[in-house]
Amino acid sequence: MSTPVLEVSGLTAGYDGAPVVRDVDLTVAAGQVVALLGANGAGKTTTLKAISALLRPMAGTVTFAGTPLDRIPAATRARLGIAHVPEGRGIFSGLTVAEHLRLGHRGERLDEAAAYRYFPVLSRLKDRRAGLLSGGEQQMLAMGRALARRPKLLLLDELSLGLAPIIVEELLPVVRRYADDSGCGVLLVEQHVGLALEVADHGYVLSHGEITTHAAARELDADQARIVAGYLGEHPV
Amino acid sequence: MDQILLFAVLGLGQGALIAGIALGVVVTYRGSGIINLATGAVAMASAYIFWALTSGFFGFTLPTVAALIGALVAALAIGVLIEVAVFRPLRTVSPLAKLAASLGILLTLQATVLLVFGTQPQQAPSVLPGETVTVLGITTPADRFLLTGLVIAIALALGALYRWSRFGLATRAASENEQAALLAGLSPNGISLANTLLAALVAGLLGVLAAPIVQVDSITLPLQVVPALAAALFAGFTSLWIACTAGILIGVLQSIVYFLSTQSWFPTDNGNAMPGLQQLLVFVLMVVALYVRGAGLPRRGEAVEQRLPAVPLPERLLRPALLAAVVAAAALVVLPFDFRQALTNSMIGMVIVLSYVVITGYVGQISVMQLAISGTAGFALSHVAIQLRVPFPFDALGATLLATLLGVAAGISALRVRGVSLAVVTLAAALAMEQALFGNTSFGGTAGVSVPPPRLFGVNLGPGADFRGLDGNEPSPMFGFLVLAVTVVLGLYVAHLRRTGLGRRMLAVRSNERAAAAAGVDVRAVKIAAFAISSFIASVAGTLYGYNFGSVSAARFTALAALGLIGFAYIGGITMVSGAVIAGLMSTEALLPHALDKWFGIKGTWALLFGGVSLIVTLIANPDGIAGAGHRRRAAKRAARAAARVSEPDGPHPEGEHHAPAALDTTEVAS
């Protein structure tokens, strides 16, 4: 196997000196969709934040496409090709959809066409301000913007937050399709375990800040008991 | 009619300056979320440097264009300094703390200019051509039109920049959601720097160009930020073209008011036209702007949680209070007369700052007006005591009551205005009161009005009493004792207030008004109570001022003095009574500046510089102030002792129950 897009090892991170996740190891390969599962407060969001440097880890390394990221700040990591769609979407409600897809850092041109291709709805809404979009449309915009940046690694945090299940069922297959088309590695945090495992290649279960189980998605899906054990905080026998 | 038109056109010059500063305020706010009170001060600094470069102040004289470029480079340098030394370290603090930091910049720039260039107002040469043009039958200087055209062009250029450029898009994005901007690969620091520099450039340019019209001194230009803030309020701190238009119109209106005041029918005060109407106009416009736009400013999405300074629960009250009282009383008798006077001044300063502890420390609202309320009480005291012949202590009580009512009325009308908007509108109110009320000889007057000494049962309690301390000079320690008694009582009351239910409700309102309301706290009642208590304390201080000097004059109660006092309150520790004590010792003519002056020859301007710089340092490094840092150290020591005692099995239990009500404030729980 070639160099994985993301390699996290021994990651410990938290807030105000209190660790939330401890000693996390995980790997995402190119074109792979990896689901990060776990109960509320297990540390899924914290893990993503540490990867994109919104949070400085207390220990451990994050390696992106073979390069250790060490103390590289968030904006620079974003420029290297990490796209993080944070919980609560991370869009700018005062900017129009089209402006979102123009907003790049210096020297960056976003691939608007890709965003409209994967989310055709957005092309009808070009001149609407993001604050006026529905929740599902906002989530599509957030993802569309992330795709338009041609990322090598996509971090998706709780796409389903506050959305109707039917919309989630639409969004997740797009993630799969994008990973297959572009070879982008995806790390997906999701509450809807079944839906997530349907599109994922591999799954990790976080429990109380530690990875308790990981396996191929199909295996995990078949053996739900292991996930339940992870959610309830028991180690697999 | 022609005359009105003429004055309207003349007002375009002032208007262009106000519009330019307003543009600077809006650009800074969009870039970094700071309402920069120092924008006018940047204009002042550039104007001074331009003057210095053209007049040979530095030993050489540059041609006008080169001097203009030099002044603009200086403005940019100030912008870089402000951004790197102040704005960047304070990215994550609350908007009110940012406002206080910009106040620190204002004081620092003002003091620096005074130290370098002196107090003398200067007349800078004009960059723009001095020809006149004739429009609609009136002949006016052409530079007014040029300035207005220039500021409109700047507004349009900035508008286009924000609307269409990548940089503008990034600025709008970062001001809305900083975290998402980071994730988009944008650097909020770089964006903030670029905007601060733009603002400094615009303010500096207008400062240089409009300076010949207004006059270059250390007060006029910095205070032009107040009408500029009115314009920015109309613009909701967002719209550049509204800020520009409103700024120009305010200048024109002020000029027309000036013209009207020269008319024979205009109400006069002692032969002169009523003073302060221009400032009053600005205040009224601000109120209108708040009414039209709503009190809220556009919300910003900063990346990190905002922490408020801790409000620790005072554990022991009587012992330190008694100790301090005994020391102060002894000092009043023993100290030489000048230090006795300085100590009395310090205590009065403490009382004033106590009013800020209640309104800003406990309730989290900055009201610049409190010092003006002090002034109102002082002037009212003179009228009540001399014209109505009311004896002490009823004259003081009457004056206090009157000023407190004014404060409560202001508080009630400001119930919907909070946070930064309140600070801005009360600044305008303080300025209007300074000019229109205290400057008016029928109520105040810059010459001062006299106050009779307080006499109780035939005993003189004033500074002229017979008992003269060890050195036998005025002022008498008797008056010091009176001030001391008042200070101790009010200090104990404010400390006690923190322990009461009302105090806890105040902290709840400070943390989150909506959450407090949801928890059953009557936010309006708490705020009115806070305004009443704070205004009462401020009024008492005002009457003490009156007795202290035997007269009251407007110079003590200016808006700038109020800003300085708020600065000292933050340095001392705005949430604690001990902080008020420290702030009082540092305030104007108090012990610390007096000692520095007497022993080291360090004058007041240096104190202003010291105040400005330490305000910024305090906000960055130690937002709880000197008193807060001291309290933390003591608490840590006590915790260590308690831990040592607990490790012995029979040792007494640590005093945990004292901290139970502190749960209202998360920072207390964490500490």
A98-127 pLDDT, tens digit each:
989 888 777 778 888 899 999 998 999 989
What pLDDT does residue A136 have? 87
Would the CATH topology of B2-262 be identical to that of B318-627?
yes
The residue of chain A nearest to residue B174, with distances taken between CA atoms, is A92
- A214 touching B (Cβ < 8 Å): no
* Average pLDDT over every residue of B522-547: 93
Mean of the per-residue pLDDT values for chain B? 85
Mean pLDDT on A209-234: 80
B670: pLDDT strictly greater than 80: no
Chain-chain contact of B185 with A105 (C-beta, under 8 angstroms): yes
- The minimum CA-CA distance between A222 and chain B, rounded to whole Å, is 36
**Preceding peptide of B212 cis, ω within 30°:** no
Contact B179 A91 (CB under 8 A): no
> Which residue is closest to B176 within chain A, CA to CA?
A92
Distance from CA of B170 to the nearest CA of A (A): 7
Q: What is the CATH number of domain B2-262?
A: 1.10.3470
Q: Is the pLDDT of residue A6 over 90?
A: yes
Domain assignment present for residue A185? The answer is yes
Sequential DSSP letters for B140-201: EEHHHHHHHHHHHHHHHHHHHHHHHSHHHHHHHHHHH-HHHHHHTT--HHHHHHHHHHHHHH
Q: What is the pLDDT of residue A83?
A: 92
Average pLDDT of the segment spanning B613-623? 87
Per-residue model confidence (pLDDT) at position A233: 59
Asked if B172's CB is within 8 angstroms of A94's CB, the reply is yes
CB contact under 8 A, B184 and A145: yes
State which H helix or E strand residue B637 sits in: helix B625-647
Mean pLDDT across the stretch B188-198? 91
Q: Hey, what are B403's tokens?
A: 């000023």
Which tens digit of pLDDT belongs to each residue from A67-109?
Answer: 898 888 888 899 899 999 988 777 888 889 998 988 877 777 8
pLDDT at residue B649 above 70?
no
In terms of Cα–Cα distance, which of A151, A231, A218 is closest to A185? Answer: A151
Helix, strand, or coil (residue A212): strand
- Shortest Cα distance, chain B CAs vs residue A96, angstroms: 10
In this predicted structure, the answer to whether residue B539 has a pLDDT above a threshold of 50 is yes
B279 within 8 A of B435, measured Cβ to Cβ? yes
Provide the CA B465 distance to its chain's centre, in angstroms.
36
CA distance B669 to chain A (A): 14
Inter-chain touch A92–B180, beta carbons under 8 Å: yes
CA distances from B429 to B248, B278, B422, B426 (A): 21, 12, 10, 5
Instruction: State the average pLDDT over residues B555-575.
Output: 88
pLDDT of residue B42: 94
The closest alpha carbon to B540, from B431, B414, B423, B380, belongs to B380
User: Is the pLDDT confidence value at B660 over 50?
Assistant: no
**A16, A52, A108 ranked by CB distance to B183: nearest:** A52
- pLDDT band, residue B666 (cuts 50/70/90): very low
Q: Specify the length of chain A in residues.
A: 237
Q: CA A112, CA A125: separation in Å to the nearest integer?
A: 13
Mean pLDDT across B635-644: 87
Mutate to test the interface with B, among A16, A96, A106 (most CBs of B within 10 A): A106
> Per CB distance under 8 Å, which residues of B are interface residues toward A?
166, 169-170, 172-173, 176-177, 179-187, 303, 670
Q: Which of residues 36 through 65 in chain A touch B, CB cutoff 8 A?
A: 52, 54
pLDDT greater than 90 at residue B74: yes
**pLDDT confidence tier of residue B273, bands split at 50, 70 and 90:** confident
Quick check: B176 and A74 CB within 8 A?
Answer: no
pLDDT at B298: 61
First to last CA, chain B: 67
Q: How confident is the model at residue B346 (pLDDT cuts 50, 70, 90)?
A: very high
Helix, strand, coil distribution of chain A in percent, nearest 5: 35, 25, 35
Handedness of CA B96, B98, B101, B103 (dihedral sign): negative
In chain B, which residues have their Cβ closer than 8 Å to the Cβ of A79?
185
Looking at beta carbons, which residues of chain B come within 8 Å of A148? none
Range of the domain at A49: 6-91+152-232
What is residue B642's predicted lDDT score, i.e. its pLDDT? 87
| Chain B neighbors of A17, CB-CB under 8 A | none
Higher pLDDT, B99 or B305: B99
- What pLDDT is stored for residue A235 in this prediction? 52
**Per-residue confidence at B650, pLDDT binned at 50, 70, 90?**
low
pLDDT reported for residue B38 = 93
Architecture per CATH, domain B318-627, reads as Orthogonal Bundle (1.10)
Of A212-216, B15-19, B152-156, B273-277, the least confident: B273-277
Q: Inform me whether the pLDDT recorded for B301 exceeds 60.
A: no
CA angle (B251, B254, B255) in 5-degree steps: 85
Give me the residues of A, 12-41, that contact B with CB < 8 A: 16
**φ, ψ for residue A28, nearest 5 deg:** -125, 125
> For position A97, what pLDDT does the model report?
92
Instruction: Provide, rounded to the nearest whole percent, the portion of chain B with pLDDT above 70.
Output: 93
Q: Is A20 contained in some domain?
A: yes
Size of interface A-B (CB pairs under 8 A): 64
Mean pLDDT, rounded, for B211-232: 87
> In the block, which residue shows the tokens 């300056």?
B17
Q: Do A145 and B187 touch (CB under 8 A)?
A: no
Taking residues B550-554, report their average pLDDT.
83
Interchain proximity A78–B184, CB inside 8 Å: yes
Q: What is the pLDDT of residue B418?
A: 78
Taking the CA of residue B26 and the nearest CA in chain A, the distance in Å comes to 17
pLDDT tens sequence across B480-500: 899 999 999 999 999 999 999
- A 10 A CB-CB count for B225 gives 30
The DSSP secondary structure of A39-90, one letter per residue, reads -TTSSHHHHHHHHHTSS--SEEEEEETTEE-TT--HHHHHHHTEEEE-TT--
Among A49-53, B120-124, B429-433, B529-533, the minimum mean pLDDT is found in B120-124
- Residue A112 forms part of a structural domain: no
Measured between beta carbons, which residues in chain B are less than 8 angstroms from residue A83? 183
What span, in angstroms and rounded, lies between the C-alpha atoms of B349 and B327? 18
In this prediction, residue B306 carries a pLDDT of: 59
> Nearest residue on chain B to A155, judged by CA atoms?
B183
**Nearest residue of chain A to residue B171 (CA atoms):** A103
Q: Does residue A181 lie within any of the structural domains?
A: yes
Chain A residues whose CB is inside 8 A of the B176 CB are 92-95
Domain assignment of residue A219, yes or no = yes
What's the whole-model pTM score?
Answer: 0.84
pLDDT of residue B657: 41
Contact A95 B169 (CB under 8 A): yes
CATH number of the domain enclosing A222: 3.40.50.300
User: Under an 8 A CB cutoff, do A103 and B184 touch?
Assistant: yes
The position carrying tokens 């639409």 is A170
Return the pLDDT at B655.
Answer: 45
- CA separation, residue B440 to residues A108, B267, B434, B443, B555 (Å): 62, 12, 9, 6, 13
Give a yes or no: residue A195 inside a domain.
yes
Q: Identify the H or E element spanning A214.
A: strand A210-216
Which of the residue ranges B113-127, B221-235, B521-535 would you say has the lowest mean pLDDT? B113-127
Q: Given a cut of 80, is residue B447 above it in pLDDT? A: no
A237 vs B594, which has greater pLDDT? B594
| pLDDT higher than threshold 50 for residue A237 | no
For B186, the closest of A16, A102, A105 (CB atoms) is A105
Give B187's contacts in chain A (Cβ within 8 Å): 75, 105
Domain segments of chain B as ranges = 2-262, 318-627, 630-670
- Alpha-carbon distance of B449 to B386, in angstroms, equals 10
The total of structural domains in chain A comes to 1
pLDDT value at position B656? 42
Distance from CA of B352 to the nearest CA of A (A): 37
Structural domain contains residue A143: no
With 80 as the cut, is the pLDDT of residue B610 above it?
yes
Alpha-carbon separation of residue A7 from A49, A51, A58, A180, B33 (angstroms): 15, 10, 17, 20, 37
Other CB atoms closer than 10 Å to residue A125's CB: what's the count? Answer: 19
Residues 6+ apart with CB under 8 A from B536: B400, B404, B407
* Contact flag A75-B185 (C-beta cutoff 8 Å): yes
Q: First and final CA of chain A: distance in angstroms?
A: 30
Distances (CA, A) of B124 to B49, B72, B140, B141, B201: 10, 15, 20, 17, 19
Nearest to B182 among A74, A92, A103 (CB): A74
Q: What is the ipTM of this complex?
A: 0.84
User: Can you give the pLDDT at residue B659?
Assistant: 42
Q: Residue B156 pLDDT more than 90?
A: yes
pLDDT digits (tens, 9 = 90+) for B576-604: 998 999 999 988 888 888 888 888 877 77
Q: Indicate yes or no: CB of A95 within 8 angstroms of CB of B172.
A: yes
The verdict on residue A103 lying in a domain is: no
How far is B474 from chain A, CA to nearest CA, in Å?
Answer: 56
In the predicted structure, residue B100 carries a pLDDT above the cut 80: yes
Task: Report the pLDDT averaged over residues B46-50.
Answer: 92
User: What is the pLDDT at residue A164?
Assistant: 82
